[in-house]
Amino acid sequence: MDTNGLLFYPPAKQTNLINPVVLAYVGDAVFEMIVRQYLVAKPNHKSNYLHRQATSFVSAKAQRVILERWQPLLTEHEADIVRRGRNAKSGAPPKNADLADYRQATALECLVGYLYYEKQTDRLRELMEIAFQDSSAAAGHFEEDNR
């Protein structure tokens, strides 16, 4: 058990041996938790506002945009993890998601899951800060796209 974080149950396999879809499964939850923590750290705690803001980060389209911001900053190893996630057979996208956006979102979630299991919290925090930069402009952009 990791007493310094939230990794209560480490994976049964080494992280690099875990199926990318499984890393994305965990990464999805970790990403959403970090987004929710970020939003609760802000002054507006109305549930409708929190939900709209969270959606502006966790939709497939939003995650694609975030991954595009991260791409030039990724190490070669991180870029390989992203490629594995993007190329993984993860099933059909949700009805409201474009296939290309969905694959990029899976790639982002795969990287987040990998960094989480590798306990690379400083790197994850660094990337999430980039995701949150200019978040008000990004949120407005995504809200317009979802109307």
Catalytic residue set: 28
- How far apart CA 55 and CA 117 sit, in angstroms, is 24
Contact in structure between 24 and 106 (CB atoms under 8 Å): yes
The contacts of residue 46 (CB under 8 Å, 6+ apart) are none
Neighbours of 147 (CB within 10 A): 4
**How far apart (Å, rounded) are the C-alpha atoms in residues 108 and 27?**
8
Whether the Cβ atoms of residue 75 and residue 37 lie closer than 8 Å to each other? no
Greatest CA separation for the chain = 44
